Amino acid sequence: MASDEGNMSVLDNLRMIKNATSDLESQVNGVRRMLIDMLDDDEELHMLHLTKNNYGTGAAVELMLHTIQNTEAIVMLKLDAKRNYLIIVDLLMTLVTTLVAVSNFFVNAFTMNVVSWLKDLDWVYWTWIAVAAAFPVASYFTSIWYIRKAAGVNIALSAHKHD
């Protein structure tokens, strides 16, 4: 959760910087358009205060549009991050369930009421149980390592900062 809050504060800072840049861009575009129009028409030079008011309103509307678009982009980024987190949790739970089910299958196959000379050897039973208990754990960590290294996906669910 601390990582999410840290990511959110970084995203909020980026949003504020982007909004400030959009403000500046809107103002520069408004001034540029105003100067071009003013220099092209002599009558507008006489009504400079009206032109300034018109461009001020247009710049405010354009700025509001940029702010809405930036807010929408930030919300979509936050929703994407939450969706990706839930997909990772689902992947890990499915992996654990599958590994436990595979071990359960082999233990049940070994302990069925089928006549076998292996049942007379105690060490075979305990070895089989140990392998069945170690298989899900080893397979889980091997799968996590493979997903992180070979596939390049960071699936850490801890509170530290994600890359």
Model confidence pLDDT, tens digit, residues 59-80: 888 889 999 999 999 999 999 9
- Work out the average pLDDT over 138-144: 88
- Work out the average pLDDT over 36-40: 76
Residue 54: its pLDDT value, please? 56
Owner of token pair 């960071």: 154
Owner of token pair 């575009």: 29
Query: Domain boundaries in the chain?
Result: 2-149
Task: Determine which of 4-8, 13-17, 68-72, 144-148 has the lowest per-residue pLDDT on average.
Answer: 4-8
How remote is the C-alpha of 16 from its chain's centroid? 20
- Distance, in Å, from the CA atom of 118 to the CA atom of 10, rounded to the nearest integer, reads 61
> Where is pLDDT greater, at 47 or 24?
24
- Distance, in Å, from the CA atom of 109 to the CA atom of 96, rounded to the nearest integer, reads 20
b/e code 10-28 from CB counts within 10 Å (16+ = b): eeeeebeebbeebeeebee
Mapped to the 3 state alphabet, what secondary structure does the chain carry?
CHHHHHHHHHHHHHHHHHHHHHHHHHHHHHHHHHHHHHHHCHHHHHCHHHHHHHHHHHHHHHHHHHHHHHHHHHHHHHHHHHHHHHHHHHHHHHHHHHHHHHHHHHHHHHCCCCCCHHHHCHHHHHHHHHHHHHHHHHHHHHHHHHHHHCCCCCCCCCCCCCC
Mean pLDDT of the chain: 80
Task: Determine which of 2-11, 52-61, 147-156 has the lowest per-residue pLDDT on average.
Answer: 52-61
Q: Which residues contact 150 (CB under 8 A, 6 or more apart)?
A: none
Residues of the chain with pLDDT > 70, as a percent, come to 81
Residue 49: its pLDDT value, please? 60
Residue 67: its pLDDT value, please? 94
Between CA 38 and CA 48, with CA 43 as vertex, the angle to 5 degrees is 55
Q: Helix 48-110 vs helix 122-149: angle between axes, to the nearest 10 degrees? A: 160
- Work out the average pLDDT over 23-34: 88
pLDDT in tens, 102-131: 888 888 877 776 667 776 777 877 888 888
163 confidence band (pLDDT: 50, 70, 90): very low
